[in-house]
Structure 1
């Protein structure tokens, strides 16, 4: 199901990015999944949990049964330890195994202080305030500014592609040489490149969308010579095939070009103490 294109391009009347999603938009088939994840997050983290959020297609109401994943962001009162990350992974695996409606569960885990830090205001902070739907606890968006689709936001959200590409090359090299092993890499990298391509042109397009096809079309309007590549990546972000040639093209052609153009237009993302996400 494609997301509708709003004449406001995801902005409120004052030109700020509107928050995506709501619990009311969660499709009926996915409500038991969300309820189970909510209850298990409380069981696992208890009083250490500050807040939890949904993001992605489920709170936007654009899911496909058996094909969509459940995306969670969890804020702990303190910085997470490796044991917390293991617990989150185990929770996700259990929910994924129990509910056929979802194809995978992913959990982003951070400490409250990092999400509200000055360094993350226009990256993780923006993500919480605009892309995440409150599920549990106090909403951190109350402590964050409103956001416009400007060059600062573009730089701080996706201005680190050049740093990510060496990691991507290592992940590709370390993956099993099978179509099944490459498929999730194609899906992940396709989505990341499309979103980066979109935020490259976001200030000129003057809006926000999370629909991959719409992102690719917005990008193509400004970079027609790369439009077909981005449209193909948008398709693979939804229907990935584990093609080794596609992965090579991402890290040897489209990715390096996009990283260079991004730095030219918006500059490079400010360094983070923990490195790029």
Structure 2
């Protein structure tokens, strides 16, 4: 079964068009000759963004990510957030051309399936069709443990309430996405809608439904969530996920 693209057509709402155009212009001007292409994912390119609730998610593909200075990129973000306060935040992921082409089940998947090209030549078209398989699921989650550990540490160490809210929301989303990757063989599609992800997990995954409902509730509203309680449940969910991956890897190796 081959994965289809999440966003087939760009439908940016009028209030976000200038933001996207200025982001492209600023990045191209700041990093002349270094940018191969720029992509977006999420609600803005889908045309479903909500002012003061939706953020802007960009991905930059370049020859060498070290050429893109994060401080200069952060300055662009700060200027745009000041000019467009209805955007909650602006995130930018940077990857290399080699990563996209040589890691099709990781960066290739991200650019080809999740994102849509808004500037430059779409390198995702050069990525071979992505077939849903245990190998794909394992490759897709190569960095999941590292990401989860990083968010776990950040949440444990921060005393800032705003950052706690951001980490809990992000951690919940990351775990739900990880669980969803386990059932993509059953669904046949990659969802970027969190409620559809949650429902599919409940339909096809044997994890305790209360854990999934808790994570989803935290994703929606984490203002009153206790950090200690959240981390305990997050650890339980990740333990389930990690065991499922190990079983999948063992099964694949035995068949190989």
Task: Give TM-score, length-normalised by structure 2.
Answer: 0.88
- Match of 1:257? 240
* Larger deviation, residues 256-265 vs 224-233: 224-233
Query: Structure 1 pair 102/21, CA: closer, same or farther in 2 (3 Å)?
Result: same
Say if 1:184 and 1:242, in contact at 8 Å, map to a contact too: no
Q: CA deviation at 1:234?
A: 2.6
Tell me if 1:193 matches 2:188: no
Quick one: which of 105, 113, 126 aligns to 2:98? Answer: 113
The reply to whether residue 230 of structure 1 matches residue 230 of structure 2 is no
Corresponding position of 1:64: 50
- TM-aligned CA distance change 1:260 to 1:136, over 3 Å: same
1:140 to 106, 123, 137: 123
Over residues 254-275 of structure 1, what are the superposed CA-to-partner deviations in whole Å (9 max), with x where a residue is unaligned? 22222222222356xxxxxxxx
Give, in whole Å, the separation in 2 of the partners of 1:28 and 1:22.
Answer: 19
Residue 50 of structure 1, aligned match among 36, 40, 57: 36
> Where in structure 2 are there 5+ consecutive unaligned residues?
251-256
Return the match for 1:157 from 107, 118, 140. Answer: 140
**TM-aligned CA distance change 1:246 to 1:160, over 3 Å:** farther
In structure 1, distance between residues paired with 2:213 and 2:128: 33
Cα 1:80–1:159 change in 2 (3 A) is closer
For structure 1, the 5+ residue unaligned runs are: 1-14, 268-277
Q: Give the corresponding residue for 1:217.
A: 199
Q: Once the two structures are superposed, what CA deviation does each residue of 1:72-111 show, in whole Å capped at 9, x if it has no partner?
A: 0001222324x61222222122212210221000001122
State the match for 1:202 in structure 2.
184
- Note if contact 1:79-1:112 (Cα within 8 Å) is conserved in structure 2: no
Q: Aligned-pair RMSD on alpha carbons?
A: 2.2
SS at match of 2:55: strand
Which residue of the partner structure matches residue 270 of structure 1?
Answer: none
CA displacement at 1:196 relative to structure 2: 0.6
For the 8 Å contact 1:186–1:242, the answer to whether it is kept is no
Measured in 2, the distance between the counterparts of 1:236 and 1:251 equals 11
Runs of at least 4 residues of structure 1 off by over 4 A?
A: none
Structure-2 change in CA distance of 1:35 and 1:180 (3 Å): same
Cα 1:125–1:217, aligned 2, differ >3 Å: closer, same or farther?
A: same
Q: 2:83 aligns with which of 69, 94, 98?
A: 98
Partner Cα separation in structure 2 for residue 194 and residue 218 of structure 1: 10
In structure 2, relative to structure 1, the CA distance for the partners of 1:127 and 1:236 (3 Å cut) is: same
Distance 1:77 1:252, change over 3 A: closer
- Residue 87 of structure 1 corresponds to 72
Match of 1:167 in 2: 150
Residue 179 of structure 1 is matched in structure 2 by 161
CA distance in 2, matches of 1:149, 1:237: 27
Query: Take 2:125 and 2:145, find their aligned partners in 1: how far apart are those partners?
Result: 33
